[in-house]
Every structure is written in C-alpha cells, then in structure tokens.
C-alpha cells in the first residue's frame, strides 16, 4: 500500500509535468531552488562543526524555526501535496492508518521534504564539534523531520475542516498570512545593530535553551543537551519529542478517518449582505460594475484576503525597522515596495476569475472596460493603504525627502498597475481554485510567477527611473520638487491609460483564447 501511494504520487506528478510546460518549469525551478537552499545553507550549517559547541547550539533555534515554518508554509503552498487529497481515497476500502503511512511516505519523496532532510543531515555534521552529541543529532534529525511532516499533515487536515465554510476560510487566511510574516519580525529583533562577525564569538546557549522548550524544538534540542551534559533535559526533550510525534500521528489518522468517511463537505447556504453601497457610490456602468465586483472579492474571497493582508502588513515592517534602526531610506523603500506590490496584485486578476470570465466575454464587455474596472478596484482598495503608510512614515519622520518619495511612490503605484493591466491580458497567471483552500497556492503559480517575475520586478523599476531621476535632481529645489510630483502623477496616469488600452485591445482580439487559458488557470 505504501509503495502504491508513493508510485501514484510520482505518477501524477510526472503526468502533470509532461502535460504542461508550465508545470514542468515550475517543478524544475522549484527543485533547483530547493537544491540551492540545501547547497548554500547546508555547508554553512555543517561548517559549525569547526566552531565550539556553544556556537553549534544555534542549530536548535534555526531548526525549531524551520520546523515551524515548514508547518505554516505547508498550509500556504500546500507544497506538501495537494495531489494526494485523502478525500480521493474515500471510495476505496483503505484503512486510515494504512493510508496515513502511504501518504507520509509519499510526502517524504516530495521536494520540500527532501530539502528538509538535506538540511537536517548537515545539522548532524555540525554536531561533529561535540562527537558525543552526534548520535543524538542523528536521532534529532529523524524525529525533527518526521515531526515537521506529520505536523504539517495534521494541521492541514485539521484546518481543512475549518476551511469548508467561507467565514472559516477568511479567518484562516488572515491568521496564516500574518504568521508567514513571523520571520520578518525575527529579522527585526536581530537587526538591532548586530554585526555579523560578532556572531562568531556568540554563545548560542541561552537562545538554544529558550528554543528547546518550544514544541517544534524538542527534538532538535537533543544534541545540544547531550553536548552540554544536561542529561535530565535531554531525557525530558526526548520524551516530549516522541510524545509529540505520537500525538500528531494520532490526530492525523483520526482526521483521515473522518475525511474517508465523510468526504463531502457541505457549507450550507451562507447569506451575505444586500451589497447596495458599492453600486450606489459607483453607479451602474459596466466599468463600475466590474469595479464593484472586484472590490467585493477583496473582502469576500479568502484567496484575495490572504494576499491583501500580506501586502498591507509587509510595509509596516519596513517602517518599524526604519524607526528601530534609524535607517531613513528603509521606510521610503517600504512604501514604494507596498505601492509596487499593490499594483502588481492585478497581474493575475483574470486567473482569480478563472473560467467564470466567460460572463465578460459573452456579454460583449469591451476589453478596456474590463481593464479599467479592475484598475479602479485596485486603486480603491490599495491607494488608501499606500497613502496611510506614506503619511504615517512622514509623520514619524522616517521619510526625509517627503515630496521626492511621494513622487516615486505615486509613479510606482500607477506604473505597477499599468504594467499588470497590460501583462495580465497576455499572461493571466494562475490562482488557487475558487472556493478552495486559500493556501493552496500551487507550484504552477510559482512557475507563472517565474515567467512574470522578471517583468514584475524589472518593469516597475524601469518605468519609474525617469521619476527617480527627476526627484533626485530636484532634491534641493523647492519648486522643482512639486513640478516633479505633478509630472509623475501625469506620467503615471499616462502609463495607466496605456495599460488599459494595450490590455483591453489584447482581450478584445484574443478573448476566446484567453478564456481557454483561464480554464487551466486555477489549480
């Protein structure tokens, strides 16, 4: 059975790859990225072997964090495996325990799991600095990796039940998207003027001891305990780690049993408000109608809620970090980043509609109306966020040349929108399935991301260059700054108009082909 499930997974993976070049590219790129992480990070960890055990102890917090991230990221990327949805086994006479073993083995053959195993191997090498701890490190590697995989599985299935209702999905999306920002806050804590060479004389002991009592750190603390001769904590950690694994396994099997016996999730009819406000404000023209629908989606569609939250919270970190470290450029760059990201969210807007876009096609909606409607929705949703972040940063005094930065922020927001409108009409991108798990951002999404990443990152930069030049040249000129601000607003609006026209014309000409692409845009 175990072998069968593993073969099934590989088979499905292979079929998916051979059927679509997008999938193939994404798998290859994903594999290379994972390999890169292992090749770069692994030896760094391994080199700790040359350092005293006090420093090697840093592996404890690192792997504690890694395990936690693995569980959370498993939710977001469903990178674990959405290929092997346990519900698909519901009609077959398979006991949950057997299936769980199979799914575990299948997960371990996946790229993310292999990456984690690679890194934990280097963790064992790192403990060569204290030979007595090596067997403990090996045990930790096995226990820790299994904990990560099983925890991820258990939490995913647990949350999947919450996710069957729309409200549940919204709440879940909010929590998880904010959790992904944890590493940034970690970065914030570390960035308090620490120099990198100071790290080598650093005693990681206290941090390791703290991390060792965190559930995901129990297993990874074993070699540290042994190396420092703390036998009692070692015993407790071992006990706890094993117990955690057993409990997680039991939870997962239980959840699987539930899924296998009641695969059909029903959410029941959930009623929503009358939604009269938006039409009243925007009117009833086709453009306004599209705008109203996209605005509603930003708060009704859990997939978009997750993106909006992440986009909106990201710059807060830049601003806070700027305040903490006193680096003035950081806040400005943070606001610009928010502006660009907010604009680029339009890039795969069509993919979020998916096949439902036929309603636009069949009603004879003009391409420019589709484009403009979406642009207005993004402006209404994100412009206040950008403006507030900017104003707050200026008020806090972390943005020095307020007008110059203002010009750049304005131009980058409009330029990113324009770019997304035009490019999105050619490359619709991919999106998680409508009404599905909002965290099931697929590997295919990564591929499309790679294809458009270049455009997304280089494009806005290039488009904003003239504004940046203007802003820098007029830094010392009181009147010139304002001229640049007005000019960049006009420039941005010009780009936006161009984006609407170019994207709109493309949709007018290739609407049916776009519909065909959109039929496969959701995974």
Write out the two tokens for 231. 């036998």
400 or 513, CB closer to other proteins?
Answer: 513
Is 274 a residue that touches other proteins (CB under 8 A)? Answer: yes
Measure the CA–CA gap between 163 and 144, rounded to whole angstroms: 27
What's the start-to-end Cα distance of the chain, in Å?
27
Measure the CA–CA gap between 35 and 42, rounded to whole angstroms: 10
Report in angstroms how near the CB of residue 159 gets to other proteins at its nearest: 19
Residue from 1, 28, 97, 513 touching other proteins (CB under 8 A): that is 513
Residue from 51, 101, 258, 300 touching other proteins (CB under 8 A): that is 300
Stretch that binds other proteins, among 223-231, 268-276, 448-456, 484-492 (CB under 8 A): 268-276
User: Would you give the DSSP letter of residue 432?
Assistant: P
Is 520 a residue that touches other proteins (CB under 8 A)? Answer: no
Is 275 a residue that touches other proteins (CB under 8 A)? Answer: yes
3 or 516, CB closer to other proteins?
Answer: 516
Residues 6+ apart with CB under 8 A from 184: 314, 317
Is 174 a residue that touches other proteins (CB under 8 A)? Answer: no
- Which alpha helices (DSSP H) does 326-357 contain, by range? 328-344, 349-353
Residue from 264, 269, 476, 479 touching other proteins (CB under 8 A): that is 269
Is 288 a residue that touches other proteins (CB under 8 A)? Answer: yes
Report in angstroms how near the CB of residue 174 gets to other proteins at its nearest: 17
| R_g of the chain computed on alpha carbons | 25
User: Would you give the DSSP letter of residue 477?
Assistant: -
Stretch that binds other proteins, among 228-236, 295-303, 328-336, 437-445 (CB under 8 A): 295-303
Residue 197: how many other CB atoms lie within 10 Å = 8
Do the Cβ atoms of 133 and 52 come closer than 8 Å?
A: no
Do the Cβ atoms of 241 and 220 come closer than 8 Å?
A: no
Q: What are the φ/ψ torsions at residue 482 (nearest 5 degrees)?
A: -70, -35
Short-list 317, 325, 194, CA closest to 207: 194
Report in angstroms how near the CB of residue 441 gets to other proteins at its nearest: 18
Is 272 a residue that touches other proteins (CB under 8 A)? Answer: yes
Measure the CA–CA gap between 50 and 190, rounded to whole angstroms: 24
Q: Give the footprint of other proteins on residues 310-369 (CB under 8 A).
A: 353-356, 358-366
258 or 433, CB closer to other proteins?
Answer: 433
Place of tokens 């989606």: 297
Q: What are the φ/ψ torsions at residue 164 (nearest 5 degrees)?
A: -75, -20
C-alpha distances out from residue 187 to 123, 324, 383, Å: 22, 12, 27
In 3-state terms, what secondary structure has residue 431? strand
Is 435 a residue that touches other proteins (CB under 8 A)? Answer: yes
* The 3-state secondary structure of 225-256, one letter per residue: HHHCCCHHHHHHHHHHHHHHHHHHHHHHHHHH
Provide the Cα torsion 363, 367, 370, 374; round to 10°.
Answer: 170
Report in angstroms how near the CB of residue 89 gets to other proteins at its nearest: 23
Place of tokens 């204290």: 130
Residue from 19, 434, 461, 473 touching other proteins (CB under 8 A): that is 434
Is 167 a residue that touches other proteins (CB under 8 A)? Answer: no
Measure the CA–CA gap between 179 and 87, rounded to whole angstroms: 27
Report in angstroms how near the CB of residue 267 gets to other proteins at its nearest: 6
190 or 359, CB closer to other proteins?
Answer: 359
Is 161 a residue that touches other proteins (CB under 8 A)? Answer: no
Q: Give the footprint of other proteins on residues 133-152 (CB under 8 A).
A: none
Residue from 93, 284, 454, 476 touching other proteins (CB under 8 A): that is 284
Stretch that binds other proteins, among 67-75, 130-138, 286-294, 385-393 (CB under 8 A): 286-294
99 or 515, CB closer to other proteins?
Answer: 515
360 or 371, CB closer to other proteins?
Answer: 360
Report in angstroms how near the CB of residue 366 gets to other proteins at its nearest: 8
Report in angstroms how near the CB of residue 464 gets to other proteins at its nearest: 33
Stretch that binds other proteins, among 51-59, 143-151, 251-259, 262-270 (CB under 8 A): 262-270
93 or 193, CB closer to other proteins?
Answer: 93
C-alpha distances out from residue 330 to 59, 340, 388, Å: 30, 15, 16
Stretch that binds other proteins, among 234-242, 278-286, 438-446, 471-479 (CB under 8 A): 278-286
What is the per-residue binding string for other proteins in 53-72, x denoting contact by CB under 8 A? --------------------
Kindly tell me the burial class for residue 195, based on how many C-beta atoms sit within 10 Å of its own C-beta (0-12, 13-18, 19 or more): exposed
Binding site for other proteins (CB under 8 A): 166, 267-275, 279, 284-286, 288-290, 293, 296-297, 300-301, 353-356, 358-366, 434-435, 511-513, 515-516
């Amino acid at each position: 059975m175990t072998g069968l499930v593993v073969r099934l997974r590989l088979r499905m993976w292979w079929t998916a790859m051979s059927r679509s070049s997008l999938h193939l590219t994404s798998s290859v790129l994903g594999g290379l990225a994972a390999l890169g992480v292992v090749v770069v990070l692994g030896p760094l960890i391994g080199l700790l072997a040359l350092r005293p055990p006090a420093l090697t102890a840093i592996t404890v917090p690192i792997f504690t964090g890694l395990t936690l991230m693995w569980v959370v990221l498993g939710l977001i990327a469903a990178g674990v495996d959405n290929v092997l949805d346990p519900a698909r086994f519901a009609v077959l006479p398979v006991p949950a325990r057997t299936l769980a073993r199979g799914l575990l083995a299948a997960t371990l053959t996946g790229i993310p799991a292999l990456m984690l195993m690679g890194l934990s191997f280097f963790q064992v090498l790192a403990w060569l600095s204290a030979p007595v701890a090596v067997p403990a490190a090996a045990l930790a590697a096995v226990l820790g990796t299994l904990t990560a995989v099983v925890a991820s599985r258990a939490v995913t299935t647990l949350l999947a039940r919450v996710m069957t209702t729309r409200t549940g999905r919204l709440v879940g999306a909010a929590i998880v998207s904010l959790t992904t920002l944890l590493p940034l806050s970690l970065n914030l804590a570390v960035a308090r003027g620490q120099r990198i060479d100071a790290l080598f004389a650093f005693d990681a002991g206290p941090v390791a001891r703290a991390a060792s009592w965190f559930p995901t750190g129990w297993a990874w603390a074993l070699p540290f305990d042994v190396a420092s001769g703390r036998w009692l904590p070692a015993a407790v950690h071992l006990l706890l780690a094993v117990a955690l694994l057993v409990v997680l396994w039991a939870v997962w099997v239980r959840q699987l049993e539930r899924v296998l016996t009641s695969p059909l999730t029903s959410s029941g009819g959930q009623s929503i408000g009358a939604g009269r406000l938006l039409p009243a404000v925007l009117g009833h023209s086709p453009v306004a109608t599209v705008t109203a629908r996209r605005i509603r989606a930003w708060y009704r569609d859990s997939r978009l809620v997750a993106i909006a939250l992440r986009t909106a919270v990201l710059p807060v970190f830049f601003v806070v970090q700027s305040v903490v470290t006193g680096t003035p450029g950081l806040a400005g760059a943070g606001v610009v980043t928010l502006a660009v990201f907010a604009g680029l969210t339009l890039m795969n807007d069509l993919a979020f509609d998916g096949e439902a876009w036929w309603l636009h096609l069949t009603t004879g909606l003009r391409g420019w109306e589709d484009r403009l409607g979406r642009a207005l929705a993004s402006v209404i949703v994100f412009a206040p966020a950008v403006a507030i972040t900017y104003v707050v940063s200026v008020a806090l005094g972390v943005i020095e040349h307020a007008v110059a930065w203002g010009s750049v922020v304005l131009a980058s927001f409009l330029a990113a929108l324009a770019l997304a409108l035009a490019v999105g009409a050619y490359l619709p991108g991919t999106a998680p399935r409508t009404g599905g798990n909002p965290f099931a951002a697929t590997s295919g999404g990564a591929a499309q991301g790679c294809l458009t990443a270049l455009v997304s990152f280089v494009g806005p930069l290039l488009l904003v260059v003239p504004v940046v030049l203007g802003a820098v040249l007029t830094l010392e000129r009181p009147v010139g700054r304002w001229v640049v601000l007005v000019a960049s607003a006009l420039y941005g609006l010009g780009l936006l108009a161009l984006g609407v026209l170019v994207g709109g014309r493309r949709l007018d000409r290739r609407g049916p082909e776009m519909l065909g692409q959109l039929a496969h845009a959701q995974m």
